[in-house]
Structure formats: C-alpha cells, structure tokens
C-alpha cells in the first residue's frame, strides 16, 4: 500500500527535493481556524515558514486576511496577492527604511505596519516619514523574555514620548514573540505563555490609558499558540503549522497538525554493512538544530552519524535493505529554514507530481 508521502514515479524528481502536499496544507489551515473557533481576525499567520504565493492564496481562500512576515521580500510577496494587512516583525534600519517606504507607496491596496523597539529607530522613521510626506503604521515590539529584540516595559514611556513627536507615525498596538517557550509539558508551557501575555497586557494597558484609539496585541509563535489561541483579546501569529515539522511534533504534541512538507533523498553510497550515505547535506536541510535534523518516514531505526555540505551518513541495521539509488523520505526538524534552501518545491497530490511552486520570498529582494 502506497503511503501518503510516496511519489508513484520518484524518478521524475531529482534529489534532494522538497515535496509539499496541498490537501494536507489545507487541512492544517482549517485546523488552526478551528482552534480559534473560526474567528480568522484572531489569526495573523507568519509567512516565513512557506514563502510561497500559492500558500498565501490558500490561506486567503479560507478567510485569513492578515499576515506577519520577517522581510521586505515576504511583505512584497503578500502585496502581490493583495493581502489586506501585513505586519513586518522586523525593525527597518539602514537601507531597509527607504525600501519600506517604497513598498508602502508601491502597494496602496495593502495596509503595512512594522515593529519598533528603539527611540533612535523611531525618530529615524518619523523623520523619514516627514521628509517623504508618508504615513507609517507601527507596533511597539515588547520583549516577552526571549532576549532577542523588543523593548522592556521600562522603555515604554520613552517610546511614547518619542512617537508623540512624529505625527505621521500611527501606533496600532504591541507585538511580542515568545519563541523561548517550547517545553513539551503543556502545563509548563501554559504557565510561561501566561507570563508572556501578562507582560504584553501590561504594555497595552499603559497605552490604552495614554491613547484613545484601541490597541491591538499580536503575540506568540507555534508552541505558545495552544494557550494564546484561547485568549479572545489577542491576535496569534504562528507560522510552522502550515507544514509542521519533526521538532514541533516532539515538543508540541498537543497540536495535531499533519506533516505537509517532506524531503526526498536517495542513497548515494553503501559504506559498510551498517552504514549508508544519502544526498541530504546541510545545503538541503536546515543545520540550525543539532543532529539528527531529520526523521525518516520509510526507514527502520535509522541513526544520523554525521553530515557535511552534500552528504549525510546514516547508521542502519542492515545496509542491504538500502540499495544504491533507493528513495527515502524525511521530515526536517526545522522546516522554516529548510524551505529557504529550495528555489522550487514539487507539489504532490494522490502520489503524483502535479506542478512546481516557486519559493519566491527566499530572495532578499523582489522588485523593491
């Protein structure tokens, strides 16, 4: 019996390759909608996972109108499909500021916003807005404990004092990413997510006392989504759900998303009775997590020994079961940067290669 991930004619695909399964993608989108009781206004999916126009359209067909991104290229990709609302969770500094301004001018049908966490960056954007006679929407980025970007609550008053000096900057709310939360224990994860929410809620409470307009709260990623999806006053921004991966399958087992992106690789050398080599080097799968970095779907007790640029050496129970040229299917530990390694993906439906999709936003620049 053919497994869901298998391709009937694997010789039609060179390896290594990334395969995507649209029926499973659609199922994951519908599942996440159900987790917020169908209220799509409480979802702002992060497109950094897939970076593809076709997946954006699939979400929009399900009623999702607002998105989050990390790069100007991703923001432009969303504008190309007429996404209604796009938040770039990245502070534009240096040349990115003028690029951001050009993006806002070029695509007036999309409402763009970005995050700010620093008074200097805020003043630079305000000065640029005044010079260009261009209005920008912004969110204050709040550090929820990850320690990567985001302002502390102690800086919030200063940020407000600065934004008040720039009439062309419109404050829409606060944003916070709690990527440090990933404990497999649901109760621990909930407690940590509650603390993230408390910090962001304190920030928005201060803003609501200072400004009359309602303030949005955009919060979280995938692991904390289990908790934040139950809060009716926040907008959640997970991204990995659309493809899912082995890492989150292990760490977030309470979320029942299906794998919808799989790596196809081949045996390229039989080294010994218990060792083989496949063409799945770290140019083909994200190298940011520790080994093993993949989980094989059609192999028993496979252990990853080591990896180099084009090769991955595996320990198996009997290498005779894995002849030269044999196709293996693997799910990456971290799908987001793995997708970024591929220019195109093969679209699989009912075991057949239907078409290719371009990973358009893997590029640093589209037209802007």
Q: What is the pLDDT of residues 279-299, one digit of tens each?
A: 999 999 999 999 999 999 998
* pLDDT attached to residue 310: 98
Mean pLDDT along residues 188-204? 98
Q: What is the pLDDT of residues 35-83, one digit of tens each?
A: 999 999 999 999 999 999 999 999 999 999 999 999 999 999 999 999 9
pLDDT at res. 67: 98
For residue 307, the 8-state DSSP code is: E
- CA distance readout (Å), 284 to 7, 91, 255, 313, 366: 19, 29, 27, 14, 23
Residue 300 reports pLDDT greater than 90 = no
Is pLDDT of 195 > 90?
yes
Report the pLDDT value the prediction gives residue 80, as an integer from 0 to 100. 98
Per-residue pLDDT at 1: 81
- The whole-number pLDDT of residue 58 equals 98
> How far is residue 264's CA from residue 293's CA, in Å, rounded to a whole number?
14
pLDDT band at 232 (very low <50, low <70, confident <90, very high): very high
Instruction: Enter the pTM of the model.
Output: 0.97
Share of the chain above pLDDT 90, in %: 99
- Percent of the chain, pLDDT > 70? 100
- Judge whether residue 103 has pLDDT over 90: yes
Residue 96 has what pLDDT?
98
pLDDT beyond 90 at 168 = yes
Structure-block tokens of residue 134: 């261009």
Residue 237 CB-density burial (10 A; 0-12 exposed, 13-18 middle, 19+ buried): buried
Q: Are 244 and 29 in contact (CB under 8 A)?
A: no
- The backbone torsions φ and ψ at residue 115, rounded to the nearest 5 degrees and listed phi first, read -100, 150
- Domain annotation for the chain: domains and CATH numbers: 10-18+260-360 (2.40.37.20), 23-243 (3.20.20.10)
Cα–Cα distances in Å, from 58 out to 188, 243, 305, 359? 34, 13, 38, 15
Tokens matching residue 224: 């904390």
């Amino acid at each position: 019996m053919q497994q869901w991930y298998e391709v009937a004619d694997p010789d039609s695909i060179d390896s290594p390759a990334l395969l995507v399964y649209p029926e499973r993608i659609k199922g994951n989108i519908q599942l996440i909608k159900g987790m917020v009781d169908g209220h799509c206004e409480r979802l702002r999916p992060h497109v950094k996972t897939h970076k593809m126009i076709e997946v954006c359209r699939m979400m929009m067909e399900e009623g999702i109108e607002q998105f989050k991104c990390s790069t100007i290229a991703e923001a432009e990709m969303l504008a190309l499909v007429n996404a209604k609302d796009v938040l770039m969770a990245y502070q534009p500094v240096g040349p990115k500021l003028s690029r951001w301004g050009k993006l806002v001018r070029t695509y007036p049908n999309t409402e763009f916003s970005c995050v700010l966490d620093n008074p200097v960056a805020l003043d630079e954007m305000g000065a640029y807005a005044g010079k260009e006679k261009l209005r920008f929407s912004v969110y204050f980025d709040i550090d929820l404990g990850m320690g990567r970007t985001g302002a502390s609550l102690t800086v919030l008053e200063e940020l407000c004092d600065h934004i008040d000096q720039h009439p062309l900057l419109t404050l829409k709310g606060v944003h916070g990413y709690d990527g440090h939360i990933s404990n497999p224990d649901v109760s621990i994860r909930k407690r940590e997510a509650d603390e993230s929410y408390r910090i962001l809620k304190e920030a928005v409470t201060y803003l609501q006392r200072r400004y009359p307009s309602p303030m949005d709260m955009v919060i979280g990623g995938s692991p904390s989504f289990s908790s934040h999806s139950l809060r009716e006053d926040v907008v959640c921004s997970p991204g990995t759900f659309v493809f899912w991966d082995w890492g989150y399958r292990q760490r977030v087992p309470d979320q029942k998303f299906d794998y919808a992106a799989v790596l196809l690789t081949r045996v390229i050398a039989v080294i010994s009775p218990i060792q083989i080599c496949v063409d799945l080097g770290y140019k083909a799968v994200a190298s940011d997590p520790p080994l093993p970095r993949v989980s094989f779907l059609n192999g028993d007790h496979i252990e990853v020994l080591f990896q180099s640029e084009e090769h991955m050496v595996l320990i198996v129970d009997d290498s005779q079961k894995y002849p030269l040229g044999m196709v293996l299917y693997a799910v990456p530990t971290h799908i987001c940067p793995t997708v970024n390694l591929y220019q195109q993906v093969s679209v699989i439906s009912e075991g057949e290669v239907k078409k290719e999709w371009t990973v358009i936003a893997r590029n640093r620049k589209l037209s802007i």
